[in-house]
Amino acid sequence: MAARGWTEDDIADLSGKTFIVTGANSGIGFEAARALAEKGAAVVLACRSVEKGEAAADRIKMAHAGTKPEVRELDVASLASVRAFAERFLREHARLDALVNNAGVMAIPRRETVDGFEMQMGTNHLGHFALTGLLLPRLIESAPSRVVSVSSMMHTRGRFGALDARDLRLESGYEKWLAYGRSKLANLLFAYELQRRLGVAHPTVLSVGCHPGYAATNLQSVGPEMSGSAVGRAVMAASNALFAQSARAGALPTLYAAVAGGVRGGEFIGPGGPFKMWGAPVSQKSNRASYDLEAAKKLWEASEELTGARYAL
Ligand SMILES: NC(=O)c1ccc[n+]([C@@H]2O[C@H](COP(=O)([O-])OP(=O)(O)OC[C@H]3O[C@@H](n4cnc5c(N)ncnc54)[C@H](OP(=O)(O)O)[C@@H]3O)[C@@H](O)[C@H]2O)c1
């Protein structure tokens, strides 16, 4: 079903519904959390910096009286933090209507998470894999509900080797864009495999992939800052100014995937304009590799092995 022209105005009243948005203190996550809160939802801003999260919550409250965004600490690059966040959420909230797996880093120099995972795979995929597994029982109890995985058109750059735990660690041959592409391909392999596993047993729990096209956010500056590249920073800033849409526009596919009517599990939502980089959200196809059943199964098994997550599916 085409979603031409879909905007925030099309979001129905969300009173009584609860959402989690990871990485909600800036960029697309912030704009998605703001829009959901403005429509009456209870929104948990899951942020690694509580201070930044509180500043974001204050911006939402100031812009829209009556909203009550909640900030909770979550570092998706730490399995201990993922577990602590999930335990607290499950204690505090009786329902979860959608989990928006949005937090991410792009094209950074090689780093490792506290658990020893390559940072882009650890943050963008493995942390969210563990988080989703822990929260899935609540999503199932709250059905109809959704898991939204924020990917990127850079998933087309992703290449895997054996696709086992060792391959995910990417111990040699690190290239920052390849590592980003792999993590974003992993987002889609995971999203579609989760949908297949939910299958007929849980027909109203949907797993949906999406991408924002190109939106000006902090994402583009983190890599150049970490590698101390003034040229990289300048190039990214100029490119953002010339070509990017706003973070608010970039959040529309995420919002559509999370709340629009008529969305089906396993869909991939992105901007329908030129080069799939701008415009209103529509259902699209991701690349062939993202629909590879064998690769999805291997990624799932390797992700379970590395994170210790076990899904109730
Ligand atoms: N902007 C684009 O054009 C574009 C294109 C394709 C895909 N995407 C995807 O969109 C998503 C959001 O990115 P964005 O563009 O909005 O960038 P952004 O403004 O940099 O936002 C990323 C968010 O993720 C958070 N984050 C990073 N590492 C984290 C961790 N270990 N634990 C918890 N939170 C963490 C950041 O927190 P801090 O502020 O503390 O760093 C920030 O809140 C990402 O998944 C990205 O891959 C963006």
Domain that holds residue 115: 8-214+252-306
Q: In angstroms, what is the span from residue 102 Cα to ligand 1's centroid? A: 6
**Residue 281: its H or E element:** strand 281-284
**241 within some domain:** no
**224 within some domain:** no
Give the burial class of 265: count Cβ atoms within 10 A of its Cβ; 0-12 exposed, 13-18 middle, 19 or more buried.
Answer: buried
CA distance 106 to 220: 7
Catalytic annotation, pick one of 174, 180, 192, 256:
180
Q: In angstroms, what is the span from residue 200 Cα to ligand 1's centroid? A: 33
Per-residue model confidence (pLDDT) at position 4: 56
Cβ–Cβ under 8 Å, residues 303 and 295: no
Q: State the pLDDT confidence band at 238, using cuts at 50, 70 and 90.
A: confident
**118 within some domain:** yes
Q: How far is CA 288 from CA 13, 157, 164, 267, 292, in A?
A: 37, 12, 20, 14, 7
Q: In angstroms, what is the span from residue 104 Cα to ligand 1's centroid? A: 4
Q: State the pLDDT confidence band at 110, using cuts at 50, 70 and 90.
A: very high
Looking at the predicted structure, is the pLDDT value of residue 3 above 50?
no
**61 within some domain:** yes
Tens digits of per-residue pLDDT, 176-209?
Answer: 999 999 999 999 999 999 999 999 899 999 999 9
Mean of all residue pLDDT scores within the chain: 95
Residue of 20, 28, 108, 183 with the most ligand 1 atoms within 8 Å of its CB, for mutation? 28
**197 within some domain:** yes
Alpha helix (H) ranges present in 105-229?
119-121, 127-141, 165-169, 176-198, 219-226
Per-residue model confidence (pLDDT) at position 130: 98
Q: SS3 for 227?
A: coil
Residue of 118, 126, 218, 246 with the most ligand 1 atoms within 8 Å of its CB, for mutation? 218
Residue of 85, 115, 177, 219 with the most ligand 1 atoms within 8 Å of its CB, for mutation? 219
Active-site residue, 180 included: yes
pTM of the predicted model, to two decimals?
Answer: 0.97
Residue 295 CB contacts under 8 Å (≥ 6 apart), including other chains = 160, 163, 189, 289
Q: In angstroms, what is the span from residue 253 Cα to ligand 1's centroid? A: 15
**Atom 48 of ligand 1: nearest residue by CA position:** 212
CATH number assigned to the domain comprising residue 257: 3.40.50.720
Q: SS3 for 1?
A: coil
Cβ–Cβ under 8 Å, residues 41 and 98: no
**3 within some domain:** no
Q: How many domains does the chain have?
A: 1
Terminus-to-terminus CA distance in the chain, angstroms? 29
DSSP 12: P
**Ligand 1 binding residues, C-beta < 6 A:** 22-23, 25-29, 48-49, 52, 74-77, 102-106, 123-124, 150, 152, 211-212, 214-215, 217-219, 222, 250
Q: SS3 for 85?
A: helix
**244 within some domain:** no
**Atom 28 of ligand 1: nearest residue by CA position:** 104
**312 within some domain:** no
**Atom 37 of ligand 1: nearest residue by CA position:** 23
Angle between helix 252-259 and 27-38 (nearest 10): 50
Residues of the chain above pLDDT 70, percent: 99
Cβ–Cβ under 8 Å, residues 25 and 49: yes
Per-residue model confidence (pLDDT) at position 2: 44
Q: In angstroms, what is the span from residue 201 Cα to ligand 1's centroid? A: 32
